[in-house]
Amino acid sequence: MSEPDILVHHEAGVTTITFNRVDKKNSFTEAMYGAMAEVLNAAAEEASVRCVVFQGDVTVFSAGNDIGDFLRQGGETQPAPFTDRAVWRFLNAIATFPKPLVAAVCGPAVGVGTTLLLHCDLVYAGDNAAFALPFVNLGLCPEAASSLLLPKMLGMHRAAEALMLGEPFMAEAALEVGLVNRVVPPTECNAVAQAQARKLAAKPLSALMQTKRLMKGAQTQEVLARMQEEAGAFSRLMRSPAAKEAFSAFMQKRKPDFSGM
């Protein structure tokens, strides 16, 4: 029997979610989003869980949404509302998660592989980490409130390079803008994140939760409203000729042809 695409481990108050679809560069399927949303919702309620860690493989964090899933969803004749999809449950869960979220990122972190980090409290990166937000290159627009959070973090011009040009940036650049806390050798990254998570798990949970709530302040409502607005635009764009061309081109391993679009 093959291993699940999402591995979950509980130890010492820390729940670790490991992306385990390395042959497909840890791209996320609907089933993976659903599984992660369930783990997060349970972890929010379960008193023994004090912190959640996301980690991938030492060679790849996540290549973002599964593009085969995008292609199928874009072709649905009666598409489910975006807010009924597992990805929406996952994005809501990370945006509202009341306890600390920590991430260990090595290798490519594409699309939601990067935007999910905007909802983490601590992020540690291997020096091989490469962040990319190629939404426009896929005929899409930002999600996970990245259209709000990234300009706040990077400033408008650098956010435009990331979100409009879709230019990748490496771990050191991510450190400079504050997207990651520390850059470490890739083989040490998961251990560093775990050690920080254990430190958090040893602290009084109610004080941590209040601190997180106060630090987020009114931003959580703004984030949820932006995610809703992005979801509407994203769903429409997913069905556009440009997106279909981009998804098909990726699957067929060729360059997209956007002429006339």
Q: Is 21 in the site for ligand COA (CB under 6 A)?
A: no
Q: End-to-end alpha-carbon separation of the chain, Å?
A: 45
Binding of ligand COA by 24 (CB under 6 A):
yes
Nearest residue relative to ligand COA (C-beta): 111
Edge to edge, what strands does the sheet with 14-19 contain? 6-11, 14-19, 51-55, 101-105, 122-126, 182-184
Binding span for ligand COA by CB under 6 A among 73-81, 116-124, 132-140, 186-194: 132-140
| CB closer to ligand COA, 85 vs 99 | 85
Regarding 186 and contact with ligand COA (CB under 6 A), the answer is no
Identity of the residue, 21 or 226, whose beta carbon is nearer to ligand COA in the bound complex? 21
Q: Tell me: does residue 27 bind ligand COA (CB under 6 A).
A: yes
The verdict on 256 binding ligand COA (CB under 6 A) reads no
Please classify residue 78 by burial: count the beta carbons closer than 10 Å to its beta carbon, then call 0-12 exposed, 13-18 middle and 19+ buried: exposed
Helices 67-74 and 219-238 pack at an angle, to 10 degrees, of 70
Residues 110, 120, 123, 201: which binds ligand COA (CB under 6 A)? Answer: 110
Q: Quick check: 45 and 15 in contact, CB under 8 A? A: no
* Closest alpha carbon to 211 in 115, 103, 122: 122
Give the footprint of ligand COA on this chain (CB under 6 A). Answer: 24-25, 27, 63-68, 108, 110-111, 134-135, 138
